[in-house]
Amino acid sequence: MVKKLLLVCLSFLFLFGQEKIPDMPIKLLDGTNTRLHEFLKDGPVIIDFWATWCVPCKKLMKHLNKFHLHFNDIGLKVLAISTDTPRSMGKVKSYIRSKDYQFFVGVDPNQQVMKKLKAELMPTTIIVDEEGNVIYRHQGYYPGDEDKILNTIEDYYKKKGVDFDQYSLLGN
């Protein structure tokens, strides 16, 4: 009896316990103010917390740009949120410009968004579906983590019935 009750409770948690992200204001690097849920209108969003001093963050960002360019037409957005201090914003702008990254860049100098989304390390990568449900969360970066992100994106779109071509995305 206890096992059955435990199983029912765990099933309930699994079905209804999916983490949702709250809507909150986001300031973009270009000075535009927006809201986090604005990014969810067309599909999922990859949120990545990073800083200019974080070497693993920079390694991941080149993959995030590929994902943005490859999947943007079917609704995926990438929002890389810098946690650099206000004094370092010049470094953030010049770094993004030098790499010609095409994804959205937010700024969170006081780490308020980072704290609300429970990101404790950098980089922290969170994939959120259009309903605001967290479908992937990972802290840190090691080569190969980009494959897990790609698999999550592919699985999401397969469940939605979207047919797409994954032409040598990670090989470049």
- All structural domains of the chain: 19-159 (3.40.30.10)
Q: What digits encode the pLDDT tens for the residues 144-163?
A: 999 999 999 999 998 988 87
User: What average pLDDT does range 125-144 have in this prediction?
Assistant: 97
Whole-model pTM: value is: 0.86
**Contact, 79 vs 61, CB < 8 A?**
no
Q: For the chain, where are the alpha helices, taking DSSP H only?
A: 2-16, 55-71, 89-99, 112-116, 145-159
